[in-house]
Amino acid sequence: MGLLELLNIRSKRPEGRVEGVEKVTGSGKYAAEYEVKNMCYAVLVNSTVPSGKIQSILVDKAKEVEGVIDIITHLHKPSVPGMDTEEKIKQSRFGLPIFHTDKIFFKGQPVAMVIAETLEDATFAASLVEAEYQKDSFEVDFNSAKEKVALKAEGKERGNFDSWQNLPFTVDQQYNIKADVHNPMEMHATIAHWTGNDTLKLYDKNQGVNNVQRTFARLFSIPEKNIQVFSEFVGGGFGSGLRIWPHVLASVMGAKQVGRPVKLMLTRPQMFAATGYRPASWQRIKLASDPSGNLSGILHQAKNETSVYENFNDGITRVTRLIYKFPNLKTEAANVPLNLSTPTWMRGPGDCTGVFALESAIDELSYQLKMDPVALRLKNISLQNHPDSNLPWSTHFLDECIDKGAKMIGWNARKATPSTVIEGDWYIGYGMAVGMWNAGRAEAKAAIIMSKDGSLVVQTAMTDIGTGTGTGMQNIAHEITGISKNKINIELGNSALPPAPSQGGSTGLSSVSGAVYDASNQLKQKLAEYASLVNGSFKGAALENILLSDKSISLKNNSTVSVSYEELFEKNNLAEIRLEVASKPGSEREKFAFCSSAAHFCKVRVNKRTGKVKIEKLAVVADGGKIINSQAAANQMSGAAVGGIGMTLMEENQIDAKLGTLIGNDLAGYHFAVNADAPIIEVDFIHKPDPNINPSGAKGLGEVGIIGTAPAIANAIYNAIGIRMRDLPITPDKILMALSHK
């Protein structure tokens, strides 16, 4: 495409994504795409045993390769002040102390890093590094290891445990979910550049530049302002960029060691053990109700895998405390250490897993009660108060989500008796489930800058991992100021911009929107102040009375007065107007509880000959408060639901338990949902702003798009074939096996 055509597209893009043209033309730069002078390339060497100790690392052969500059090992490395003692390593809570230990915790753990003039040199040399290990016994099998770890009460019981143990309507079942891997399209990469002794530039794939900045300031004992982190384009995260992984530190150490900028990009196979995953889990749920479907009590037990060097808890039981008004409740959990890398948050973390068990069990209860699963839920959802804190929900419209979703799927066509609708080789069934997420918010800053020509730049350090944060910021600035969208530029993903929290936990827009909203309003007020120097009518103008156009400011109640920005800037002797605003949660959090929620409805076909599950229709309705940009929000919801389809039907990080090796660690071996697996997903919203959460009324959406997906599908499969599938993924072999026992 020629430059003129490109510019033409740019000028014609009022409604789309602010970064759309950059993304589709390739001009937007992802971490690994920056060009830095004098840069060299790093490649990690991974351990070939799952447990033990490094006895020796032979690097001589690798060093002879032309172009090799240096090879980092735990015996040959630059100083990292924040990790120079065992105690500091522990305090740093960095996770894997890369190149600071001779211990091996998992197969694939980086033990050396080759730095060379080209990627090819580094890759070849890395293959020549030879490590010898003292091998120890290891455990990678979650199923057997979980038996050795005892559950612990989480200390938040409700009511009384014995009171409901012998009720006639009881479900008591176990659920297993395999580990899922985020696998964002863009692989994690870092270019580390020490621009001085204690000044560092990082081009890095992550979900929070300020978090990266703080971490390296701590590790290298240098002021935060000496570190600049760029993550201007991020090709997906799903949680994998919420913490700083060992390879990022490796690249920074490498750059220090060789005194040159170093680029390190993980390979796809390395991504399976270097940037976290949704941990495999086991759950038991026992729940009971009275004969009219009033839920009486629940016991929710959960175990998730973790690594032997870190204790990660996925928070699986949290959602059980959130959705229903169980008068009696007990939750217990445990983490199961294995010789694998540490898992982390993955889209809808904890809740996704927990809700699969909870919503499967509720569905099962509905069949026992001979009650419509929709009615059972509507009867028991805690719509007024947070069941734990008893604080009133600020807004909560899960009931409306359910009503809408039922209409969208055509719930009336569902047969209450499973396995009764058959078309040729296909069983047909309907299922539904709900999900919730605490609607969080953190302090965020944004700046708005106006130039003489009336154009605006809105800035925040927050990354946009593909969710549409930048577009949402433009939408808000446009809505408040009235200035055309094509005159509003967005800058983000750079730690030098006004600081913001990481983009995660569905808090991105709900945090930064408040700052953009306030900054836009303050700009209007400020412009009126400046305009009053030219025309006295603007003095003390009320905010509602201020009207901005692309060229000038005027008053709504007096159309004859108007001051052009050009004149306003000149008379006030301004080069630009810049306002920086912070927005943070306050006392409203003591008065209200906040949540987002969604209902998932699904129609499936299950093939009796092949065991294939075909999702015919998936409808998702969410309450995310005010929807700032319907398109971006709907994309988030349907994208999340596709992830949910993968989790339900195909995703599994396969491990050879005898060798401790990941065996499906590439995009051919790891099956996930592609276009042919997903129907057009119908998405709708409740569109009611939350008046208390922040000035914009947006509650956050990312997580609730996936949370109810798996149980909605599994419940539909039950309705289709009359067999309850309690282990994910529900692959065709499992269906065939189940059907053969029917």
In contact, 561 and 393? CB cutoff 8 Å: no
Q: Is residue 440 involved in binding ligand MOS (CB under 6 A)?
A: no
Sign of the dihedral through C-alpha 498, 499, 500, 503: positive
In contact, 95 and 106? CB cutoff 8 Å: no
In contact, 333 and 154? CB cutoff 8 Å: yes
Q: Is residue 347 involved in binding ligand MOS (CB under 6 A)?
A: yes
- Closer to ligand MOS by CB, 366 or 502: give it: 502
Q: How far apart are CA 186 and CA 204, in angstroms?
A: 11
| Cα 454–Cα 459–Cα 460 angle in degrees, nearest 5 | 165
Q: How far apart are CA 341 and CA 110, in angstroms?
A: 11
CA 245 to chain centre: 16
- Closer to ligand MOS by CB, 140 or 209: give it: 209
Q: Is residue 242 involved in binding ligand MOS (CB under 6 A)?
A: yes
Sign of the dihedral through C-alpha 687, 688, 693, 696: positive
Ranges within 579-638 binding ligand MOS (CB under 6 A): none
- Closer to ligand MOS by CB, 237 or 429: give it: 237
Residues that bind ligand MOS (rule: CB under 6 A) add up to a total of 11
- Closer to ligand MOS by CB, 184 or 499: give it: 184
Q: Closest approach of Cβ 207 to ligand MOS, in Å?
A: 6
- Closer to ligand MOS by CB, 275 or 382: give it: 275
300 closest CA partner among 313, 314, 319: 319
Q: How far apart are CA 213 and CA 202, in angstroms?
A: 9
> Taking the CB of residue 434, how many other CB atoms lie within 10 A of it?
31
Q: Closest approach of Cβ 707 to ligand MOS, in Å?
A: 11
Cis check for the bond before 387: say yes or no (omega within 30 of 0).
Answer: no
Q: Closest approach of Cβ 505 to ligand MOS, in Å?
A: 4
- Closer to ligand MOS by CB, 242 or 369: give it: 242
Label the pairing between strands 199-204 and 227-230. Answer: parallel
What three-state secondary structure class fits 6?
helix
Q: Is residue 239 involved in binding ligand MOS (CB under 6 A)?
A: yes
Q: Closest approach of Cβ 239 to ligand MOS, in Å?
A: 3
- Closer to ligand MOS by CB, 351 or 359: give it: 351
Q: Is residue 724 involved in binding ligand MOS (CB under 6 A)?
A: no
Q: Closest approach of Cβ 184 to ligand MOS, in Å?
A: 10
Q: Is residue 427 involved in binding ligand MOS (CB under 6 A)?
A: no
Q: Closest approach of Cβ 347 to ligand MOS, in Å?
A: 5
Q: Closest approach of Cβ 277 to ligand MOS, in Å?
A: 12
> Taking the CB of residue 372, how many other CB atoms lie within 10 A of it?
16
Q: Closest approach of Cβ 346 to ligand MOS, in Å?
A: 6
Q: How far apart are CA 34 and CA 31, in angstroms?
A: 6
Q: Closest approach of Cβ 383 to ligand MOS, in Å?
A: 25
Burial readout 442-461 (b: 16 or more C-beta within 10 A, e: otherwise): bebbbbbbbebebbbbbbbb
Stretch that binds ligand MOS, among 12-20, 297-305, 339-347, 686-694 (CB under 6 A): 339-347
Stretch that binds ligand MOS, among 218-226, 235-243, 439-447, 452-460 (CB under 6 A): 235-243
Q: Closest approach of Cβ 227 to ligand MOS, in Å?
A: 22
Stretch that binds ligand MOS, among 11-19, 233-241, 284-292, 321-329 (CB under 6 A): 233-241
- Closer to ligand MOS by CB, 237 or 254: give it: 237
Candidates 208, 337, 505, 711; binder of ligand MOS (CB under 6 A) is 505
Q: Is residue 237 involved in binding ligand MOS (CB under 6 A)?
A: yes
Candidates 345, 430, 594, 672; binder of ligand MOS (CB under 6 A) is 345
Q: Is residue 238 involved in binding ligand MOS (CB under 6 A)?
A: yes
Separation of first and last alpha carbons in the chain: 59
- Closer to ligand MOS by CB, 275 or 296: give it: 275
Token couple for 666: 């590439």
What does each C-alpha distance from 305 to 149, 330, 501, 505, 725 come to in angstroms?
11, 21, 28, 21, 22
Q: Is residue 279 involved in binding ligand MOS (CB under 6 A)?
A: no
Residues lying near ligand MOS in the complex (CB under 6 A) are found at 207, 237-239, 242, 345-347, 349, 504-505
